[in-house]
Amino acid sequence: MATETTHPSRDEVFDAVKNLRRRYVLYYLQRRGGPVELGTLAEQVAAWENDVTVSEVSPSQRKSVYSALHQTHLPKLEAAGVLRYDANRSIVRPTDTATGLDMQLASDPQTSIPWHQLYLGLAGVSLLLLTSLWMGLYPFELLTGVQYALLVIAAFWLTAMAHTYDLRRWRRRADDAAPDFILELND
């Protein structure tokens, strides 16, 4: 079993969250930010699975999820080092590893525009343009250095604005959604 200081590999984490029910568990723990009682966790997971509110979850739905979490899913997530499960007290708590898990999984290339590549490309094009201007190459000499600097600043500003908009839109979609909105893994 993993300890708090053991950091699972990305493959181990992705293997642990292949199952939708386990992704629901991690998502709920991250949103709560602390320990949760297994019964409360089971009710929320059952609500997401059945597309109902927590108050509409039937006793059989809750029991089914509770049993599966207790017997299978929580031990698997604990072995991956992303949560601690105290079966005697029925308490589930995230580990330090789980706090970074959201960003690790959310940065999966399938979930968003690869902003880091866009910024790198923009920086490379900007450097090429400014170098061409410095060398006096045609047609780059048609504008002044200040004009090119303003174009570069405007390009970075527009890209940062688009990035901010994309991030806010993504977070709004994810706020009340089940975790599949965030964790797009192939089952």
| Averaged confidence pLDDT in the chain | 80
| Ranges 13-22, 71-80, 135-144, most confident | 71-80
Residue 100: C-alpha distances to residues 8, 80, 122, 133, 144 (Å): 12, 14, 28, 43, 46
Return the CATH number of the domain spanning residue range 10-106. Answer: 1.10.10
Residue with token string 């991250």: 30
**Residues facing 36 on adjacent strands:** 92
**Residue predicted with more confidence, 179 or 136:** 136
User: Does the structure show a pLDDT above 60 at 5?
Assistant: no
pLDDT, residue 19, reads: 82
Instruction: Report pLDDT digits (tens) over 81-102.
Output: 888 999 999 999 988 776 666 5
pTM reported for the whole predicted model: 0.56
Q: In the chain, where are the structural domains located?
A: 10-106, 115-181
- pLDDT per residue as tens digits for the range 169-184: 766 665 555 655 454 4
